Structure 1
Amino acid sequence: MSSSRTALPTADEEFTLGALGADGSERAASVLREHGLVRLGRLGGRSDVLDTAALLMPALWHHRDADPDGLTVIRDTGRHEGRVGFAGLGRGDLALHTECAQLPRPPRLMLLACARAAEEGGESLVVDGRAVLAELATFHPAALEALSAPRAAYFGGSDGHFAPVLEHLPEGRWRLRLRQDELARFSPEAEAHLPALHRAVERHTIRMRLACGQGLVLDNHRLLHGRTGFTGERLLLRALGQAHCSLGLDPGFPAPWPAPASAPAGRG
Structure 2
Amino acid sequence: MPSLHAAVPAADDEFTPGALGGGELERAAAVLRERGSVRLGRLGGRGDVLGTAGQLMSPLWQHRDADPDGLTVIRDTGRHEGRPGFAGLGRGDLAPHTECAQLLHPPRLLLLACARTADAGGESLLVDGRAVLAELADSHPAALEALSAPRAAYFGGADGHFAPVLESLPHGRWRLRLRQDSLARFSQEADAHLPALRRAVERNTTRLLLAGGQGLVLDNHRVLHGRTSFVGERLLLRALGQPDPRLALEPGFPAPWSRPSPADAEVAEVAVGRG
Instruction: Report the TM-score range of the alignment, normalised by the length of the smaller protein.
Output: over 0.9
Shift of 1:6: 2.1
Once residues 4 and 178 of structure 2 are traced to their aligned partners in structure 1, the CA distance between those partners, rounded to angstroms, is: 21
Once residues 22 and 221 of structure 1 are traced to their aligned partners in structure 2, the CA distance between those partners, rounded to angstroms, is: 27
Amino acid at match of 2:3: S
Q: Note the alpha carbon deviations across 1:197-245, whole angstroms, 9 max, x for none.
A: 0000000000000000000000000000000000000000000001111
Residues 67-86 of structure 1 aligned to structure 2 (within 5 Å) = 67-86=67-86
Residue 149 of structure 2 aligns to a residue in which SS? coil
Residue 23 of structure 1 aligns to a residue in which SS? helix
Aligned to 2:263: none
* TM-score, normalization by structure 1: 0.95
Residue 243 of structure 2 aligns to a residue in which SS? coil
Q: Note the alpha carbon deviations across 1:89-128, whole angstroms, 9 max, x for none.
A: 0000001100011111110000000000001000000000
Residue 25 of structure 1 aligns to a residue in which SS? helix
Amino acid at match of 1:94: L
1:183 aligns with 2:177: no
Q: Note the alpha carbon deviations across 1:19-48, whole angstroms, 9 max, x for none.
A: 111121111000000000000000000010
* 2:172/2:258 contact within 8 Å kept: no
Once residues 258 and 250 of structure 1 are traced to their aligned partners in structure 2, the CA distance between those partners, rounded to angstroms, is: 14
Backbone CA RMSD of aligned residues:
0.9
Once residues 5 and 153 of structure 1 are traced to their aligned partners in structure 2, the CA distance between those partners, rounded to angstroms, is: 29
Once residues 33 and 241 of structure 2 are traced to their aligned partners in structure 1, the CA distance between those partners, rounded to angstroms, is: 16
Aligned to 2:93: 93
Aligned to 1:197: 197
Residue 126 of structure 1 aligns to a residue in which SS? strand
Amino acid at match of 1:5: L
Residues 8-157 of structure 1 aligned to structure 2 (within 5 Å) = 8-157=8-157
Once residues 188 and 234 of structure 1 are traced to their aligned partners in structure 2, the CA distance between those partners, rounded to angstroms, is: 39
1:217 aligns with 2:217: yes
Residue correspondences, number: 258
Aligned to 1:163: 163
* TM-score, normalization by structure 2: 0.92
Residue 142 of structure 1 aligns to a residue in which SS? helix
Residue 127 of structure 2 aligns to a residue in which SS? strand
Shift of 1:249: 0.2
Q: Which has the higher helix share?
A: 2
Q: Percent identity?
A: 78
Residue 58 of structure 2 aligns to a residue in which SS? coil
Amino acid at match of 1:96: P
Aligned to 2:267: none
Aligned to 2:241: 241
Residue 59 of structure 2 aligns to a residue in which SS? coil
Once residues 126 and 70 of structure 1 are traced to their aligned partners in structure 2, the CA distance between those partners, rounded to angstroms, is: 23
Aligned to 1:4: 3
Amino acid at match of 1:68: P
Once residues 4 and 136 of structure 2 are traced to their aligned partners in structure 1, the CA distance between those partners, rounded to angstroms, is: 14
Once residues 12 and 27 of structure 2 are traced to their aligned partners in structure 1, the CA distance between those partners, rounded to angstroms, is: 14
* 1:99/1:107 contact within 8 Å kept: yes
Shift of 1:4: 3.2
* 1:175/1:253 contact within 8 Å kept: yes
Once residues 162 and 225 of structure 2 are traced to their aligned partners in structure 1, the CA distance between those partners, rounded to angstroms, is: 21
